[in-house]
Chains A and B, each alone.
Chain A
Amino acid sequence: MSARPVIVCDQVSKYFYRHAGRALLRKHVEGWLRSAPKERFYALRDVTFRIQEGESVALVGTNGAGKSTLLSLVTGLVSPDLGQFSAEGRIGPLLQLGAGMHPDLTGMENVRLNAALLGLTRRRTGELFDSIVDFAGIADFIAEPLRTYSSGMVMRLAFSVAVHLDPDILIIDEVLTVGDYAFQVKCAEKMASLKRSGKTLLCVSHSAGAIEGLCERALWLERGELVMDGPLREVLDAYEGRPPSRQA
């Protein structure tokens, strides 16, 4: 296996301002007038790791540990406030159920929209269309609006588009858990075949079973910091054996 790093994360920090969600003009004016230092919240703090081409890496950690922020960073949605970060290759992100899909559009229209958003060309989308629908296994519903779909069906469609993109790095944030057993097996097979063809995998899952057969390495994030980076089994043992409370 070539040892070329495709994701390089070097002392990366990403912070958000507290109350940044309250985006009103009044708040900004108050901010300028008082010039009070805004309180920062570190979603990622001084995180350093490298992922080589063809590696399969799981991210573990409690809710709010920074896992999704890290995935957004790799996808290119967020830029680091400090440190160096780079990721190369085509990214296939599966970050949230139904992201980039619209409930009023049909399955068919959503496949095309999602393919365009992920960067496929019109022609390639046309070529892959049948195969995408076929893999998702929801041909009966493909002309129905997405809002009539169950969450499992939405996930099938989204996963199918993302893997047909032929990504160099596939990023999956827990969404697979809504699929039924049969589809989870199908997904696992697909990911194993992507892995065999030298693709890089980065996934978050709270079920050890789902990542066990797939990933050989894990990163454990806690409160934005990387506490452990090593072989999957060792990290999971440490993670599951740690005291449950994380309140500071």
Chain B
Amino acid sequence: MASSAIPSRGPKWHGDYLFLFQSLVAKDFKVRYRNMSLGVFWSLLNPLIIMGVLWFIFTKVFVNRSIPHFPAFVLCGLVPFNFFTLAWVTGTISLVENASLIKRMPIPREVVPIASVLAIGIHLLIQIGLLLAAVLLAGRGVNWQWLWLPLVWGCEVIFVCGLSLMFSALNVYARDIRYVVESSNAVLFWLVPIFYDFGAVPQRFREVYELNPVAALVLACRNILLHAAAPPTPLLLKLMASSSLVFVSGLLVFRKLRRRFYDYL
């Protein structure tokens, strides 16, 4: 029941969560592509061009002999990183972008940032397809360790959902949070081993490096796809622990801040 102390509720939303998520994800996805003549093909074209450039630069210009399959190696870093940055920014601005929804429709608000991350997840699937194709082209075959992939990618999605919950809520109160996120992404580009090997990182920083779920995911992907090895257990544990920790704290921050969303949107 309502009281002045407890954030009171009107009626609860008794809807179909699955249908709601599907509808919102479909909305984001359709809206993004409907006004492009090439539609979803863009999502393929962009990484294809990047791959072409990478292949040219790293097999013709800077020939890197110390790292085998260099284009596939870079792609293992780029695909998770691109997904992460795009999903984080999109998630962060989701509440502000969907202000009319938040102000006029009594849906549970947590659904909005999570749905926008999941809509970006559809691109991720396309790009994972490309990544796997690149790995096969590099001459690395399919192996049983690929079964680890859903787990490690799942962890990344959970991680971005947590960050998006937290930052979308903050962004309602201070719209410049969006730019903080964009700047952090630029910094992060160099803190994730995309173009360099993890082996080049000095031993004393490695433990901390692995706590960053994006870096951990990149390492796990390389283990699985390029070395046909299972990701080391401590790495997996760190990945799962830091993703779930971020998700839970994101949810807590969101719950704390959502009370005044209406006033600020």
- Identify the A interface with B (CB < 8 A): 16-17, 20-21, 23-28, 72-91, 93, 95-96, 98-100, 102, 104-105, 109, 112-113, 116-122, 125, 169
Contacts and interface: CB of A to CB of B under 8 A. Distances in A.
11 contacts: A76-B12, A77-B106, A80-B4, A91-B10, A91-B11, A99-B103, A100-B101, A105-B30, A116-B15, A116-B19, A121-B19
B265 to A, nearest CB: 9
Nearest to A117: B105
Given A23-B175, A80-B4, A119-B15, 18 more contacts: A20-B260, A20-B263, A21-B264, A23-B172, A23-B173, A25-B174, A27-B174, A72-B103, A84-B2, A93-B104, A99-B100, A99-B104, A102-B27, A104-B35, A105-B31, A105-B34, A113-B24, A119-B107
Contacts, number: 142
A120 to B, nearest CB: 7
B15 A25 contact: no
Nearest to B33: A104
Contact of A120 (B12, B15, B263): B15
B7 interface: yes
Nearest to B8: A79
Interface in B171-190: 172-177
A72 B10 CA distance: 9
Contact of B177 (A25, A79, A109, A169): A25
B23 interface: yes
A23 B168 CA distance: 13
A91 B177 CA distance: 34
Contacts of A27: 174
Interface of B: 1-4, 7-16, 18-20, 22-24, 26-27, 30-31, 34-35, 100-107, 172-177, 259-260, 262-264
Contacts of A125: 19
A82 B264 contact: no
Contact of A80 (B2, B26, B101, B263): B2
A36 B264 CA distance: 19
Nearest to A122: B19
Contacts of B2: 79-80, 83-86
Contacts of B175: 23-24
Nearest to B179: A25
B172 A77 contact: no
Contact of B1 (A20, A86, A91): A86
Contacts of A109: 26-27, 30
Contact of B107 (A26, A90, A95, A117): A117
